[in-house]
Structures are given as structure tokens and as C-alpha cells.
Structure 1
Amino acid sequence: MIEDLGTTLLDAVCGDIAAERPIDGVIIHDPLDDVVPMREALVLGVGLSEVDEITALLSAMREEDATALVLRAPIAVDGPIAAASAATGVPVLALTRGASWSQLSAMLRTLTADGDVGQPDAQTLGGTSAGDLFAIANAISTLLDAPVTIEDRNSRVLAFSGRQEEADPQRVETILSRQVPDRYSRELEERGVFRELYRSADPISIDPVRAGGSPAMPRVACAVRAGDEVLGSIWVAVREPLSSDRLQALKDATKLVALHMLQQRAGADVERRLRADLLATALEGGAGAKDAVARLRLGDHRCVVLALSTAETAAQADATDARVLGERHRIADAFAMHLGAVYPRSAVAMIGDVVYAVAGVPGEQQDADARAARVAEDFLSRLGSSDDVLVAVGAIAENGSMLPDSRQSADRALRVLRSGRRQGAVVLFSAVQMEALLVEVADLARTRGERPTGPVGLLIEHDRERGTHLVETLQSWLECLGDVTAASTRVYTHPNTFRYRLRRLSEISGLDLADPDARFSAMVQLRLLDLDPR
């Protein structure tokens, strides 16, 4: 990790970093939140500054066999923190001032995600793991004896080499933000640099950009192409012009970078499909489910399944519409990022028209489903314009073999949300179990072609023939628990008129309103009638 990110972002402050220790995940520590498993995790101590809090966290990390702790620089290299690091054996790293925690987290998750789902024997291109642009950037830097960045068409930094401290402040600012600052991009645009870069098949030389007034170095850049498509570019910060051999080496390197960028693009699609297949297998159960759960790294966790979908509308009925599919994939990716920040072990994939998420929860959490619902509510509040997104939270699965049961309960709760029987956008299955049963009974009655019979059937027929409102009167009275005043107000009718209608509906249908069984039967039929779209 330190070799890939160099010293531009992270510095080793104390502890032994020479020993090879695995990083199984990245966790953002919050002292006010529930403790999450930290085994073999890199812990980001965002906002931690009190010495007592830091030393206590280091002790907790030793007990859970965590890998290392990252704190914001500056950190004293001698004192209680260094002593605690030596006593616990947990190294402490410092995040450079001005660097973003979110950018560091994203880069670390990218580095640690390699091999999570796919096969361990990764494909290689040019002797480097396919898609590993950081390794390619370091190799190019060694060939050219200068710091290098690899950027996409929007000047976002995809990877960078070591030795960035040898470049100018502009390069350091670019690395920290993972994006070329706007003021530099605008000047390059005005000079016509990008136009020349993307038209030329050879490297071009670029004079220093002094938009910020700070010292600047010249650049040499070369476009990365796949056929006629420009994928991005390689930028080299140089103190003197490159020799013809090194210019040729840079030009040749663009071909390898293009292969890696294409592999990375294709790999993202393959990884998404593979994760969806694994998640579908785990949620369906049966043969292969145990292996799928293990490859998703959820085998030793209690889990909860969340089902996310858009509300049923005519505009969204065609699931093959490219715009609809694109929007659903966007929501799925955003949900995966949001969930991953809270649950280090989680998996999200779109299966059919539903986005399923499995969150691994700590074993001691008794209300894990309620906590997952709060996470989903927070996600929807951040989503903004997608007001029609619904999320159902299934029952807790004590182990991987129970994931199909949790998925089934999430599906049942989602049907309740889609039917409109429950207000809100997020619901727990435990809160809507009876509504789910009613939806299923209505499905059964609809399949058999059954319609309300007995007193309710007679009232429906009477209303249809005479244009009366006796069914509405009965439903209002039942839902108001026999309170005539409240029920009459609900249907905008005078209480005396309402009482007269009650007597009439009893006479016409023979319904005994004093009989609890008769009331229950009528209420169930009216609920099923309300669920029937006909």
C-alpha cells in the first residue's frame, strides 16, 4: 500500500511497517458509533486528536488484530502515541495535511478490493496485474526518471507514481485532490494544449502553468488511445527536455496503458456481473450457495438482506429501457458505496429489477434490521431527487444458509410498500408481516378468481345497482372501531344519516354488527377488495 501511494499521502510515523501484514478492509472509526469488527483492517481515525482516545483505540485494535491506524498529520513521533504503538504492535500512519479522507478511503478501497470476488490468479499484461495502473505509473516513472500521472479525459487522476515530492506544488495539489485543479485546466484549455494533445500521436511538450503564482515545472504529455478513441493521457513532470529514447519509451508505454485501461473498464463490468451472479446464488440457496457466500466474504457473519426498488409506474414498466436501467445501476452503485462505509462486509447487486444488498452485522447486535433501516433512510435522504425509491429490510439471517429466508422476507415487505398499504419509503418486514400475509392472501384469491361473498358481496351488488355507498359506510365504521362520529366525519356525512345507513346495510346484507366474527370476516374481505386492482 505504501509503495503504491508513496509518501505524497501517507507517512509512517511509528511502528513496524516492514513486516508484511494483510489489509482485509478499510474502516472509518467513529467513537460515537457502534464498534465494528476490525480484524486485519486499516482503521482511519477521522477527527481523532485526543491522546487518550487514540491510545484506547490502539489497545482495542490490538485485541481485534487490526493492521494499522491512520491519523491526520502532524503526529508526535515520541510520546504516548508512539509508546502505545510500540506496546500494541499496531503501526501508526499520518495522512498529509490538505489531503482528503474521502479520497484516501476511495484509493485504499480500490487497492484492497483486488481479488475480493474474482479468482486469485489475476491476468497479467506486460508483466503487471491487469488494471493495476499504479504499478504501470511506477514503471514508466522508472523508465523516464521523473514523476508520472495517468489521467482520464476529464483530467481525473487514475494513478500516479512515486517521487511526486520531486515535482512542483501544482502536481502535489493534483495528487491530493485526484483531479487537476480547474484554474490549471482552464489555462491549458485556453492555450489549446488538450486539442494538440488529442490530435498528436507523439508526446508534446508543455510550458509551465503559473496560474497559482507558485513555481512550476514543464510537462511532457502523451495521449492514450484505443484505436480512434482517446482514453486519457500520461503526464510527466520534467526539469529538462526528455531524450529521444525516453520520448519513444513514453509513446510505447501508452499502448500498454491503453490495454490496462480497457481491461479496467471491462473488468468493472465483469466484476459487476460476477458479483450479481454470486449474490443471486447466495440469496437463492441450494448448490453453490455456501461457496458464493464465502467468496463474498460473508460466511462468518450474521447478515440482513435489503431490497431496493423504484415504485411501480407506467414510465418504469419497461425494464429494458436504457435510461431506466442506467438509473437503476446508478442507484445500485451509490447504495453499494453508502453501505460499504457502514458495513465493511457487504455486497450489492441488481438482480432483475430489484437491487439487493447483504450487510454483514456484528454478532452482538440484536436490532440489526432496525439499524440497517436507519442506514437506508440516510441513503434515501442523500439521494435527493429519487423520491420513488423504496427499501425493504428483511429478517436477520443468523448464518449464510439463512440468506434465502431473509431475502424472501425482504421481497414480501417490498410488495407491501409497492401496494401502498404502508406509508414511507423504508420498512422492516417485522413491522409489516400481517400486511404481507394479506397481500399474499389477495394473490391467492385473485388466482382462484374469488370475489367477496356473503354480506359484503350483497352490499357491493346493492351499491352497484342503486348507486348507494353502503360498502364505504361499513368500511369507515370498521376502521373507526365503531365510533359513529369519527366515521361519519371521515365520509363527510351527518351522524344521523350515517346511523341510518348502518341500519340499512344490516337489513340488506344480514350482517350482525355486534358479532366480532362477522366484523372480522367483513374487514378481511374489504381489505382484500382494496388490494384487488380490478
Structure 2
Amino acid sequence: MAESLASVGLSAINQENRTLRDLVEIYRHLSGLALQDADIGTVAELIARRTAVTVAVISQKMGILAAASPGESYEHSVQYVHDHLIHPRLAHTLAMAGKTRRASRLPDPARGGAMIVAPILVGDTVPAYLVSLVPDSPGRDDDIHLMTAEHAATICGVILARERVITSAGSQVRDDLIEGLLSGSGRDNDEVVRWAHHLGFDAERNHRVLSVLIEAPPGDGERSRLVAERAAGATARLFVAQSPDAITTVRGREVIVVLNEPGAPATGIQSEQLGALCVQRLGALFPDVGVSIGIGGVFREPAHIARSYEEARRTNEAIRRLGRRGAVVAFDNLGISRLLLQVPDPEALREFATDILGEVLKHEQEHHSKYVTTLKCYFQENNSLRRASERLHVHPNTITYRVRRVEEITGLDLENYRDRLAAQVALEILETLGETGL
């Protein structure tokens, strides 16, 4: 009897020693993965193979980041985890494990075994969880599975932290390259071409630079800042979603987009359409946020990115200064406004336009006349009475009468080059300032 008890005790000790050796071996392999260029999928595969359990790495939103089952393909493992593990009750289980920051074992009646949940820590956050589905089997030792899962979760945390650092470093390098292109700080053209190549720039296609300026909503400073930051991030994602080849960067409340521009080089149609879509979407998502978009000139050579950006930035700053909230303006379409928008004081422009056409504007307000519209159409049709009358659907004599009335009201002689030029510039100022229905 004593010999039998001794034999049983010796067998138990031997079994415990084998288990400990296996545990040490698993720990050694896991620690080795942390030193290698391994991912969390490799950790899941190792645990599944060495412990004969199904293992999954689940994100906070219950997305399956990795899955492995002994002897099964990755696709089969993911499907199994999705079918048998992902359900609303799991969210509560993960949340509890996240609060305790410790691995826990829960009964799993559906499969007659246990479910072990180990939070994966990256700094002070819990971005994911390692979950082991342990089947019911003779001699099952949940403590071993618990310790294995806990150590595997630690290794997953090391891997995710490393990936974050690499991603952050890669993002910083990318931002530095974009900043170099936008500032034109390359030492030579070859260096600029290399920078652009690393960012995926295609020199065989037309491009434009868009400057999107976000105006924070009024109110509390911190809240306004956060809303503006969210709007800027949403803007960058919108352009990438609509044009995957776009190169984007966010500078505080400015989003800069290097956008492929298919079609005729001088049209800028896609840029303006995407700009209008951006204004519309942001208006729906962030109704209190103001936005304006300046579009630089077309280019193909990477060395011209800085020029196009400067055009976009100047255009955008000018239209915002003039109070054109929500405007999408292409530099190519500014015409004489390129010069007008550079005047530091908009009031000086307004005074000039008022001196030239102020009496006509006053007359229109009082009598609902069409003098300003007629005058602009007359100029646009190169002083052709016939073409202007066709556009406005009136008799040519009506055009003649309205033009003569403008001369009477203002004292201008529109047959005189200088008076005609002054009237045309005044009309451009009024349109630029957005103070007429032109």
C-alpha cells in the first residue's frame, strides 16, 4: 500500500515537472518572439500549437486581430472564433478584464471547458485581449493555461508597443518629407524627386495642391480646439477615401492635399468638385465649423509642389479674409482677383468700387433695376449689344438704355478707355467681395 502511494506521488511529481518544463519552454519561445520581428499572429499560433487550444486576439471593439487553432488554417480559425466567441456578452467580459488588468478564467458551458481572458497592456491602455478557449479534458490544469495566456498577453503588448513606435516613426518621416516638398527646401531637384517618390507621387499625372482651412466653432477654447482637430482629421480621411493616391498632411487647423488631377490640365474640375464635397460633408458632420478651400495651379514636376501650395495658401487666406466662408476657389480662376486679393485692406477695395459704382448700386436698391448685371454682361461680351441682349433675353435697345443710364448716374464715359477700365475693376471688386448677386 505504501509503495502504491509512493508510486502515485512520484507520478504526480513527474507530471508536475513535465508541466513546468513545458511552461518554461513556452515562456522561452514567447520571450524569443519579443526579440524577433514577430507579430501577434505568430504568438497566437505558438500558444495554439503548444497547448492545443484555440487562441484569439480581440480588439476593444471585438474585432479579430489574430486567431489560431491547432491543426487548422488561419481562415478556419478566424471563422471559428467569429462563430463561437464574438457575441454581446463578450464585450462585458473583456471590459471586466480590462478593469482588473489581470488574466481571468471563466467557465465556458457551451463547449464544456473554460475561457481565459488576458488583457494586453500597452502603457496605460488596453488595446486588445488574448482569449484562450480551453476544452474540457482529463487532467486539465487551468492554472497552466492561465499563466501561459498572461505571459503571451505580455509579449503581445511588447509587439504592439513596438509596432506603434515604428508606425509613429514612419508617420514622422512621411510628415517630414511632405513638409520638405511644401517648403521647397530640397537641396536639388534629384532630392525633391526622391522625396516625392517615397510618398507615391506620380510624375506622369497632373496634380494640384489644396489648402483646407478649418475655422473652429465659437465657445469654450478647449472644446473648440478638439472639434477643429476632429474636423481636420475627417477632412484628410475624406480626401483619401475619394482619391486613394492623394498625399495629405494636417498642420493644426490646415489640411494640405496633393491631389491627382485627371483631365484637361487647366480645368481643376475634380479638385473643385472634391472641395465642394468636402465643404458639404463637413457642414453635415460639424455644422459649427467653418471651412474654406484654396486650390493651387496645376503641375507635374515635384519641384512645383511648393509653388502650387503657396498659390493655394494665398488664395485661401485671401478669400477667408474677405469673409467668403465655405468658398472653394481655384487660383487659376481668379483672373484679376489674383491682384485684388493681395490688397492688405479690403476696405480700400470697397471704397474704390463705391466711388465708381456706388450711385448705381444705390439706384438698384431703390428701384430694383438691372444696371449692374447688364453692365457686367455688356463688358463680358466685349461691348456687343446683340450678344448681351441675347444672354439677358432683352432687346438690344434695352441694353443701350441701361448702359447710358449707368453713364448718367456715375458720370463715366464708357467709350473712354480709363473710365471703362475703372468700371470693370469696380465690378470685379464687388464680385470678389461677394457684395452683389453677380
TM-score of Structure 1 vs Structure 2, range by shorter chain: 0.5 to 0.7
Q: Which amino acid aligns with 1:307?
A: L
Equivalent residue, structure 2, for 1:298: 201
The one-letter code matched in structure 2 to 1:247 is L
Pick from 258, 276, 284 the counterpart of residue 358 of structure 1. 258
The CA distance in 2 between the partners of 1:377 and 1:458, in whole Å, is 34
In the TM superposition, residue 504 of structure 1 has moved relative to its aligned partner by: 6.1
1:439–1:531 Cα contact (<8 Å) kept = no
Deviation for aligned residue 1:150: 1.5
Change (3 A) 1:522 1:530: same
Is 1:152 equivalent to 2:59 in the alignment?
yes
More displaced 10-residue stretch of structure 1: 277-286 or 393-402: 393-402
Which residue of the partner structure matches residue 34 of structure 2?
Answer: 126
- Distance in 1 of aligned mates of 2:302 and 2:54: 47
Matched letter for residue 60 of structure 2: R
Aligned to 2:423: 522
CA separation of 1:271 and 1:452: change in aligned 2, threshold 3 A: same
1:266 CA displacement: 5.4
- Compute the displacement of 1:401 (Å): 1.6
Q: Distance between the aligned counterparts of 1:162 and 1:243, measured in 2?
A: 18
- Among 506, 510, 515, which residue is 2:407 paired with? 506
Which among 225, 234, 237 is matched to residue 330 of structure 1?
A: 234
Deviation string for 1:278-334 (max 9, x for gaps)? 212112212366253243243765451342525757649989711111221133134
TM superposition score normalised by structure 1: 0.55
Return the TM-score normalized by structure 2.
0.65
2:381 maps to none
Structure-2 residue corresponding to 1:220: 116
Task: Within 5 Å, give how 1:355-394 maps onto structure 2.
Answer: 355-359=255-259, 372-373=270-271, 376=274, 380=278, 383=281, 385-386=284-285, 393-394=295-296
Q: Which residue of 1 aligns with 2:176?
A: 277
Query: For the residues of structure 1 that align with 2:206 and 2:253, how far apart are their CA atoms?
Result: 22
Contact 2:266–2:298 (CA under 8 A) maintained in structure 1: yes
What SS does the aligned partner of 2:412 have? coil
Say whether the 8 Å CA contact 1:219–1:238 is kept in structure 2: yes
- The alpha-carbon distance between structure 1 residues 295 and 224, as it changes in their structure 2 partners (threshold 3 A), is same
Measure the CA separation in 2 of the matches of 1:375 and 1:467: 34
Query: Structure 1 pair 323/139, CA: closer, same or farther in 2 (3 Å)?
Result: farther
Paired amino acid for 2:131: W
Deviation at 1:511, TM superposition (A): 0.3
Q: Which has more radius of gyration?
A: 2
Partners of 1:242 and 1:368 lie apart in 2 by: 73
1:98-132 alpha-carbon deviations (Å, 9 max, x no partner): xxxxxxxxxxxxxxxxxxxxxxxxxx9821348x4
SS in 1 for 2:130: strand
1:402 aligned counterpart, secondary structure = helix
Residue 143 of structure 1 contacts residue 249 of structure 1 at CA under 8 Å; is this kept in 2? no
Q: CA RMSD in A?
A: 5.2
Give the unaligned 5+ runs of structure 2: 1-31, 379-384
Summarize the Cα distance change of 1:264–1:335 in structure 2 as closer, same or farther, 3 Å threshold. farther
State the one-letter code of the partner of 1:527: E
1:77-476 equivalent positions in 2, closer than 5 A: 126-129=34-37, 132-161=39-68, 165=72, 171-172=78-79, 184-188=86-90, 193-194=93-94, 196-198=96-98, 199=100, 201-207=102-108, 209=110, 219-226=115-122, 229-240=125-136, 241=140, 244-265=143-164, 268-287=167-186, 290=192, 291-298=194-201, 301-302=204-205, 304-307=207-210, 309=212, 315=218, 321-340=225-244, 343=245, 346-359=246-259, 372-373=270-271, 376=274, 380=278, 383=281, 385-386=284-285, 393-411=295-313, 414=316, 429-430=331-332, 432-434=333-335, 437-444=336-343, 446=345, 449=348, 452-453=351-352, 457=355, 459-460=357-358, 474-476=371-373
**Paired residue secondary structure (1:278):** helix
The question of whether the paired residues in 2 share the 8 Å contact of 1:143 and 1:246 is answered with: no
Does the C-alpha gap of structure 1 residues 146 and 337 become closer, same or farther in structure 2, counting only changes over 3 Å? farther
AA aligned to 1:261 is: L
In structure 2, distance between residues paired with 1:134 and 1:269: 21
**Measured at CA, do residues 531 and 390 of structure 1 come closer, stay the same or move farther in structure 2, by a change above 3 Å?**
closer
Unmatched 5+ stretches in structure 1 = 1-123, 175-179, 210-214, 490-494
1:397/1:405 contact within 8 Å kept? no
Q: Give the superposition deviation at 1:254.
A: 1.7
Say if 2:357 and 2:423, in contact at 8 Å, map to a contact too: no
CA–CA separation in structure 1 for the residues paired with 2:432 and 2:211: 22
- Find the residue that maps to 1:511 and give its secondary structure: coil
**2:146 & 2:85 partners in 1: Cα distance?**
28
- The 1-side partners of 2:346 and 2:318 are apart by 18
- CA distance in 2 between counterparts of 1:306 and 1:313 reads 22
Name the structure 1 match of 2:11: none
Equivalent-residue separation in structure 2 for 1:181 and 1:413 (angstroms): 55
Deviations along 1:415-439, one digit per CA (max 9) or x if unpaired, are 6875899999766554x142xx404
| Residues 471 and 401 (structure 1), Cα distance of their counterparts in 2 relative to 1, 3 Å cut | farther
C-alpha contact 2:324 2:434 (8 A) present in aligned 1: no
C-alpha change, 1:302 and 1:168, in structure 2 (3 Å) is closer
Corresponding letter in the other structure for 1:126:
A
What is the number of residues matched between the two proteins? 381
Distance 1:325 1:447, change over 3 A: same
- Contact 1:223–1:233 (Cα < 8 Å) also in 2: yes
For the 8 Å contact 2:57–2:64, the answer to whether it is kept is yes
Any idea what the Cα deviations from partners look like across 1:55-77, whole Å, max 9, x if unmatched? Answer: xxxxxxxxxxxxxxxxxxxxxxx
> Quick one: distance in 1 between partners of 2:144 and 2:56?
20
CA distance in 2, matches of 1:401, 1:263: 35
Identity of aligned residues (%): 17
Quick check: which one's helix share is greater? Answer: 2
